[in-house]
Each structure stands twice: as structure tokens, then as C-alpha cells.
Amino acid sequence: MRYVRRAMSDPTSTLDASLAEIDARFAAEFAACSDEQALRAAHAKILGRSGALTAALKEMGKLPADARKAAGQRVNALKQKVEAAFEERLQAIARAARDAELNATPFDLTLPGRVPAPRGHLHPISLVREDIFEVFKGLGFAVAHGPQVELEDYNFTKLGFPPDHPAMDMHDTFWVSPPPQAPDARVLLRTHTSNVQVREMLTNKPPLAVVSVGPCYRCDEDMTHTPMFHQMEGFMVDEHVSMAHLKGVLTAFVERLFGKRQVRFRPSYFPFVEPGVEVDMGCTFCDGAGCRVCKGTGFVEILGAGMIHPVVFEHCGIDPERYTGFAFGTGIERPAMLKYGIPDLRLMFENDVRFLAQF
Ligand code: DAH
């Protein structure tokens, strides 16, 4: 008994007993781990901060100096053995996982999902654009598109804007650097869709009935203006086109887009028409009774229009003695707001799905 007790308290044999115990069980413990997480936990129990082998290592300090070197070698040998077994088991686990994946029943990507994917839809501005096209296609108009980066000539000059017109100021119009091939070109982001009139009249000859919708740009930003906005433009040119056609087409347009409501025409001015008119319709918010939106008047302004100025015809190579025509234009956001009862212009551009999902 005494002998044994002495032997048990001998630091070298205590250390060796611990090493023997670790050595006896680590292989089985690693083999029992079937995933990486379990294996790492088993490894930590031996070589982690409070692991068995780490504890044994701390015991080394208690050994007599002459025994330390040999004991250190035994500890290190076991440590290497454990590490090697760990790495080997780690790789085996990874290999098994990969094999399981390869041998699994293949996943059919083409199967339909259990939850149907939510479907998006057109933005309210696009919805109104499509509505506008439908109405005008029904009236026999063709759809055309014009560039958003435009020459000053097509955006202003050919439409009869005098060279000192305030719309051309830097603070109203986004001017663009000319391309290197044409350093003297005066280029801008179109301020309205009326450039489509010029482009269509330069390339096609009457009879013409065309409508266009697209983005425009002005250096404007406040509660009711954004630097990018949308406009529609339309015009009709033929022999004997008169103001009566203008009134008939625009009244039909308002009725088809908004339902039957009052339409009124007021004299106005735009450089490219003579005479020019402003078109108002009965307010959709109060049905003409008078509210905040129509400022108590019962009417909201929805279009600018007029008989195409002879100067525009001349600039586009169309004989103003023979042909007459009318043109009209408006923003898209305003009619969209009126049609859907949207109170704030900025909602249109924030792209918040809670707003968009309501259409
Ligand atoms: N281009 C005008 C604007 O941006 C709108 C407009 C007014 C277009 C009268 C027309 C028109 O074709 O005849 O305010």
C-alpha cells in the first residue's frame, strides 16, 4: 500500500498515467464524431485550454529537472499523434459529406416552388403611359420615341424658342458636354417631349398623328417638381386640321382616361403654337365641388396645347400654307396622381413597395 501511494504521488508516473489514459481513448473518441463540430469539440477536450493533454503539460513543471526532457518528448509525441488523427478524421468527415451530397437523390431545380413567387407589376407611371397609348392608338395615333439627350436645335430652336428664352438658362436646363466629334454641338437633356414633334416632322411627311411618352429633365426640385419627370406629347398634322379637331381629340382623351367630366380650354402661350391653350378638367378629387387639390376652383390643369406655329412647320420642311396641325403635351405624374388619388409626387420615385403594391 505504501509503495503504491508513493508511486501515485510520483509526478513522473502521474504524468505518464494521464498520457496513457489520453492515448487509450482519443482515437475512439474522434472516430465517434460524425460531423466537424463534434470533432472539434472532442479535440478541444484534449488540446483546448482546459484539455486533458494541456493539463498534463502543466504538470511538467513539477517534474525533477532530469526527468523533464524525456517527459517533454513523450508529451510532444502524443500531441503530434492526436493532431494527426484529428486532421485525418476531419478530412474523412469532409469527404463523407461530399460523397453523401454526390450520391443523394438529385435536387430538381425545375420543380415548381411550394409558395408561388409574388409577381410584380408595372409602376404607376408606366401604367398611365400604357393607358395613354391605348387611348391614342384607339384614336388612330402612332407611338414614337425620342432621345433623352438632345440637341438644342431640336429641343428649342426649331420649336421657335428665341435664343434668349429663359428656359435655356443653366438653372432651368441640364446642359451636357458635347461629344469630341462635335465640340461645338449644343447638347442638353431634353426639357420636354416636344422634341419628338421636330424629329417626326423632319423624317415623315403629313398626314401625321403621333403620340410619345418619356422622361424629361429640368433643374427643378421642390414639393411638386423633381429633376426627372415624364411627359407625353402628341400632335396631328394634315390639310384642314383645325381647333375643332384639337378640342374633339383632347376631350375624348380626357373622357377615356378619367371618365366623363367637364373639360375647358383657356388661352395660353407656348412658343411653338398659335393660338395656345391650357386644358383643364373637372377635379377628380372633389368632382368639381372645390377642394385643396384644385384650390377651390373645381378644375385642374392637365394639358398645354395649341395649333402648331407655322414657324415650326417651316423649320421642319412642311409647307405651312398647305398644312395645319395641333399639338399637346403634359406631364405624366400629374395625371397619374389624379387618376389614382396619389397625394405626393415624391411617392412616385421612392419605390417603396408598400406604395407600389397598391396599384
Ligand atoms: N412642352 C410643353 C411643356 O413642357 C407642353 C406643351 C404645351 C406641349 C403645348 C405642346 C403644346 O405640344 O402644344 O410645358
Predicted local distance difference test score (pLDDT) of residue 2: 41
Give 269 Cα–ligand 1 centroid separation in angstroms: 10
pLDDT tops 90 at residue 155: yes
The x, y and z cell numbers of residue 13, run together, are 508516473
Rounded distance between C-alpha atoms, residue 269 and residue 273, angstroms: 7
Q: What is the mean pLDDT of residues 106-110?
A: 85
User: What residue's CA is closest to ligand 1, atom 2?
Assistant: 329
Q: Which residue has the higher pLDDT, 341 or 39?
A: 39
Residue 101 has φ and ψ, to the nearest 5°, of -65, -45
Rounded distance between C-alpha atoms, residue 129 and residue 25, angstroms: 77
Angle, vertex CA 85, rays to CA 80 and CA 88, nearest 5: 125
Q: Specify the ligand 1 atom closest to the Cα of 235.
A: 12
Ligand 1 site residues (CB inside 6 A) read 192, 194, 233, 270, 273, 304-306, 327-329
Give 293 Cα–ligand 1 centroid separation in angstroms: 22
Lowest mean pLDDT among 43-47, 67-71, 122-126, 198-202: 67-71
Q: Specify the ligand 1 atom closest to the Cα of 191.
A: 4
Per-residue pLDDT of 258-300, as tens digits, reads: 999 899 999 999 999 999 999 999 998 888 899 888 899 999 9
User: What residue's CA is closest to ligand 1, atom 8?
Assistant: 329
Predicted local distance difference test score (pLDDT) of residue 181: 95
Query: Average pLDDT, whole number, for the chain?
Result: 91
Q: What is the mean pLDDT of residues 118-140?
A: 93
Domain range annotation of the chain = 11-103, 124-356
Q: Which of 150, 189, 190, 192 to mutate to test the pocket of ligand 1 (most atoms within 8 A of CB)?
A: 192
Residue 341 is classified by DSSP as T
| Residue ranges in 109-235 assigned as alpha helix (H) | 124-138, 152-155, 195-203
pTM for the predicted model, two decimal places: 0.69
- The edge-to-edge listing of strands for the beta sheet with 149-151 is 149-151, 187-189, 175-176
User: What residue's CA is closest to ligand 1, atom 5?
Assistant: 329
- Residue type (1 letter), 256: R
Per-residue pLDDT of 222-270, as tens digits, reads: 777 889 999 999 999 999 999 999 999 999 999 999 999 899 999 999 9
CATH superfamily membership of 124-356:
Bira Bifunctional Protein; Domain 2 (3.30.930.10)
Per-residue pLDDT of 83-98, as tens digits, reads: 999 999 999 999 999 9
Place of cell 419627370: 229
Cis preceding-peptide flag for 118 (omega within 30 of 0): no
The x, y and z cell numbers of residue 222, run together, are 421642390
Cβ-contact 154, 161 below 8 angstroms: no
